[in-house]
Amino acid sequence: MLRTPTSSFISALGAILLVWPPSAVFGANLSDEAVREAYFLGQRNDEKTTRFLETYRRRLPMPKSGLYVSEIELFTPYAEAVDLSRQRTFGYSAQQAAQEYRDRGDVFRLRVRVFFTDTHSQHTYAQAATQKDGRKLKLGQDARAHSSGWQGFQVQLWQKDRLIEPLEISGVPVFRGYTVGGASYGFDVVLHYDGDDLASDNIEVVVLTPDGQRTVAEFDLATLR
């Protein structure tokens, strides 16, 4: 099972338990040939690789105020195999890629990148995190134990009016430098989903922020590998 390092100040995000009917399956079980193809596409690590992975990302404009949900990325098992190969271009073999895929299984990875801004700082966010039941919840805790969400901040994956349950949620702080001094701090929220819970159809990712924003990104699994 994949795990992403957790941040000490970010709370868990909510998810409601609903199960997708077993007949509506994405069918992402990759053949050895497909894994090998994904491996070599990642090993190229060139413009072709970048263009391919960009089809799995949605880049969003900065709002006038509040938290900045800058990217929403949904990687299928195939795209995940490409991305992992892209990150390991030295001493990484096709056999290793195939074994890692078998160990990992057909898992979808949803990543939401959020930045703090002048109008919604890290301090503001951290203060809000302590107000949930008088304690601070941390990313990496089982979100299914907090299905009501956290302070209005939720990441939801919808398909045909069903809210799909994630296997796990984790978070890691990220940093974005500016050309003129300083840095903008933020975090990635990473959720993993069982491919058997998803259909080869349209997916809607909804991000609800504590300051009242609602950000939506759509992905059509029928057109993605």
**Does residue 195 surpass a pLDDT of 50?**
yes
Average pLDDT over residues 146-173: 75
The residues spanned by each domain of the chain are 32-145+166-196
Q: What is the pLDDT of residue 27?
A: 54
**Does residue 135 surpass a pLDDT of 60?**
no
Q: pLDDT per residue over 51-82, tens digit each?
A: 999 999 999 999 999 899 999 999 999 999 99
Question: What is the average pLDDT score of the chain?
Answer: 78
Strands 202-208 vs 214-220: parallel, antiparallel or unpaired: antiparallel
5 neighbors 48 (Cβ within 8 angstroms): no
Edge to edge, the sheet with strand 57-59 lists 57-59, 68-75, 107-115, 183-194, 168-177
| Long-range contact set of residues 31-36: C-beta below 8 Å, sequence gap at least 24 | 32/98, 34/78, 35/81, 35/94, 35/97, 35/98, 35/101, 36/94, 36/97, 36/98
Predicted structure pTM score = 0.76
pLDDT confidence tier of residue 171, bands split at 50, 70 and 90 = confident
Question: Tokens standing for 209?
Answer: 């922020």
pLDDT confidence tier of residue 202, bands split at 50, 70 and 90 = very high
